[in-house]
């Protein structure tokens, strides 16, 4: 049989790879992915070792083949157990698969509060805790002046009040949370400030604002008691009020009498019915208004028709008018006594400095002498000296 040269050449190319495969039966087919079987006596070429990154475990076909001296199922080390597992992707064209590392999720961030240094803020706070913006300024260091009067008006929007001072002027006084307000001795709020209330204010001059500042305000202070001497000119039994004509200025003064008012005649207790028009009284009262008050004590000095005995020296003598003044030794007060010179036996012995004893009757407007006797003449007094 005659074969063509082309057919012979094709057969030759077919048998050359088969001969090579018989010489090295462990050589895998390209792209098969099967491990190679080592040939005894052959020295394989050393393979370069690539150090994987820390915390990453690589997987390759060469690393999966165990060595003859190792166990078929090696035990991982404790360090390898802590490393995250990797999942290889499918290989293609014999290339090394990309490694995917699964990392644990990061924990959520905890909230944190940051305290800034006070020096970093504008206008650092003082060490005493005083806020220069919100807190009021310190109390003025000026002289304190006590002022008394009555409240004319209160402006709670502007924190100020007007006070009618006792001398007749009206002051505008400012107050704020620095002001201490007292009502009958107990500290209270500005609601106790009412029109018409009697107040005493510790005032200071604020040099920064050029106005009057109230350091302390005392409301409802009981006024100090006062005394008055005079004659009762009118009695209102229905409203229990007395009208007294004062001895000093002759101005009528009205007094209210309540159940707590003590009435006496000398050392003897008396009642309200014993006080009659024309009676001379001494009244101790608490002022409510300039011409009005509440009587605390009423002492009846002389009632119309009552007889009184005076002992003392003559300090004034007018025989023409029939008038003398006696410095009474009982209460050390001067009394004017009217007498009739023609009906007085000791008229020739009377003189300034003579000690006398006079029995007189009170007649609503004056004392009239019923009898006058000389106890010590002026000549006797001169001899004793």
**pLDDT value of residue 311:** 92
DSSP 293-344: EEEEEEEEEE-TT-EEEEEEEEEEEETTTTEEEEEETTTTEEEEEE--GGG-
Q: Classify 229 as helix, strand or coil.
A: strand
**pLDDT value of residue 359:** 92
**pLDDT value of residue 130:** 60
Question: Which has the closest alpha carbon to 287: 217, 192, 221, 218?
Answer: 221
Low-confidence ranges of the chain (pLDDT < 70): 1-5, 10, 15-102, 115-132, 135-137, 167-168, 207-209, 221-225, 248-250, 287-292, 380-385
Cα radius of gyration (the chain): 63
Q: Give the strand pairing for 280-289 and 292-302.
A: antiparallel
β-bridge mates for residue 148, sequence order: 200
Distance CA 38, CA 66 (A): 13
Distance CA 87, CA 48 (A): 23
Distance CA 287, CA 56 (A): 102
258 Cα distance to chain centroid: 40
C-alpha distance from residue 251 to each of 157, 232, 233, 295, 310 (Å): 42, 12, 11, 17, 28
Write the CB contacts of 375 (distance below 8 Å, at least 6 apart in sequence). Answer: 311, 355, 356, 357
Phi then psi for 365, rounded to 5 degrees? -115, -15
DSSP 237-282: TTTTEEEEEETTT--EEEEE--TT-EEEETTEE--GGG--TT-EEE
Residue 185, judged by CB atoms within 10 A of its CB (0-12, 13-18, 19+), counts as: exposed
C-alpha distance from residue 132 to each of 87, 100, 117, 179, 206 (Å): 67, 62, 17, 19, 18
Stretch (H or E) spanning 175: none
**pLDDT value of residue 274:** 87
Domains in the chain, CATH or no CATH each:
145-219 (2.40.50.320), 225-302 (2.40.50.320), 307-384 (2.40.50.320)
Write the CB contacts of 99 (distance below 8 Å, at least 6 apart in sequence). Answer: 56, 58, 59, 86, 88
| Largest Cα–Cα separation, the chain | 213
Region for 356 from its dihedrals, namely left if φ exceeds 0, alpha if ψ lies in -120 to 50, beta otherwise: beta
Phi then psi for 150, rounded to 5 degrees? -120, 150
Question: Is the Cβ–Cβ distance between 374 and 368 less than 8 Å?
Answer: no
- What's this model's pTM, rounded to 2 decimal places? 0.39
**pLDDT value of residue 69:** 44
Alpha helices in the chain (DSSP H): 5-23, 61-64, 78-81, 378-384
**pLDDT value of residue 62:** 43
Give the tens place of pLDDT for each residue, 336-353: 999 998 888 878 888 888
Q: Give the strand pairing for 367-376 and 333-338.
A: parallel
Question: Is the Cβ–Cβ distance between 296 and 225 less than 8 Å?
Answer: yes
């Amino acid at each position: 049989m005659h074969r063509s040269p082309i057919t012979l050449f094709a057969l030759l190319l077919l048998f050359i790879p088969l001969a090579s495969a018989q010489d090295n039966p462990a050589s895998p087919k390209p792209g098969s992915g099967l491990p190679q079987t080592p040939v005894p006596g052959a020295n394989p070429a050393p393979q370069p070792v690539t150090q994987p990154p820390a915390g990453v475990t690589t997987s390759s076909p060469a690393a999966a083949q165990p060595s003859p001296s190792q166990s078929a199922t090696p035990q991982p080390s404790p360090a390898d157990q802590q490393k995250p597992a990797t999942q290889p992707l499918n290989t293609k064209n014999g290339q090394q698969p990309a490694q995917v590392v699964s990392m644990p999720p990061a924990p959520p961030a905890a909230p944190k509060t940051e305290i800034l240094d006070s020096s970093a803020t504008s206008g650092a706070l003082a060490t005493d805790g005083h806020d220069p913006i919100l807190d009021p300024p310190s109390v003025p260091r000026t002289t304190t002046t006590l002022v008394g009067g009555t409240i004319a008006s209160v402006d709670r929007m502007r924190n100020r009040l007007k006070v009618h001072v006792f001398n007749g002027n009206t002051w505008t006084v400012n107050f704020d949370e620095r002001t201490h307000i007292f009502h009958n001795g107990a500290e209270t709020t500005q609601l106790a400030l009412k029109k018409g209330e009697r107040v005493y204010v510790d005032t200071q001059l604020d040099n920064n604002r050029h106005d009057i500042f109230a350091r302390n305000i005392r409301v409802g202070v009981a006024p100090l008691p006062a005394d008055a001497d005079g004659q009762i000119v009118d009695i209102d039994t229905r409203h229990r009020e007395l009208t007294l004509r004062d001895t000093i200025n002759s101005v009528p003064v009205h007094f209210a009498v309540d159940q707590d008012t003590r009435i006496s005649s000398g050392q003897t207790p008396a009642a309200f019915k014993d006080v009659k028009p024309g009676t001379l009284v001494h009244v101790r009262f608490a002022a409510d208004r300039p011409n009005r008050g509440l009587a605390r004590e009423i002492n009846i000095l002389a009632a119309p028709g009552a007889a009184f005995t005076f002992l003392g020296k003559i300090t004034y003598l007018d025989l023409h008018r029939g008038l003398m003044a006696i410095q009474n030794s009982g209460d050390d007060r001067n009394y004017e006594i009217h007498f009739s010179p023609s009906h007085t036996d000791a008229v020739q012995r009377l003189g300034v400095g003579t000690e006398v004893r006079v029995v007189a009757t009170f007649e609503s407007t004056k004392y009239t002498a019923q009898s006058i006797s000389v106890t010590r003449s002026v000549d006797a007094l001169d001899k004793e000296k």
